[in-house]
């Protein structure tokens, strides 16, 4: 199974979890149960984010390094810096 396919499958599961939380809210389920499901969704999204970042480093960043083009390397480095700055 390719990384792209694995990521797609994970996102489909997350989509189902989100629909489940939506139904829990509609059913007026216990707040803590809803919050547990939301935490599970956030954790699953973090795993997807991590995999996409690994793929980016293995492909896009590696290509920029291999190109020997300092401008392209700087672009890829700055993209990563900006991404991590937004996390704060």
> Residue 35: which domain range?
3-86
What's the CATH number where 43 sits?
1.20.58.1000
Task: Please tell me the distance from the alpha carbon of residue 58 to that of residue 54, in angstroms, as a whole number.
Answer: 6
Q: What does pTM read for this prediction?
A: 0.81
Count the domains in the chain. Answer: 1
Question: Are 53 and 76 a contacting pair, CB within 8 Å?
Answer: no
Task: Please tell me the distance from the alpha carbon of residue 3 to that of residue 5, in angstroms, as a whole number.
Answer: 5
At 1 the pLDDT is 58
In a structure prediction context, what are the per-residue pLDDT tens digits for the chain, which is 88 residues long?
578 899 999 999 999 999 999 999 999 999 999 999 999 999 999 999 999 999 988 888 889 899 999 999 999 989 989 988 987 6
């Amino acid at each position: 199974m390719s990384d792209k396919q694995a990521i797609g499958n994970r996102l489909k599961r997350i989509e189902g979890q989100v629909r489940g939380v939506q139904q829990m809210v509609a059913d007026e389920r216990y707040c803590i149960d809803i919050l547990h499901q939301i935490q599970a969704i956030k954790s699953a999204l973090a795993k997807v984010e991590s995999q996409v970042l690994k793929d980016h480093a293995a492909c896009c960043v590696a290509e920029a390094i291999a190109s020997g083009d300092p401008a392209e390397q700087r672009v890829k480095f700055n993209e990563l810096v900006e991404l991590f700055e937004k996390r704060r």
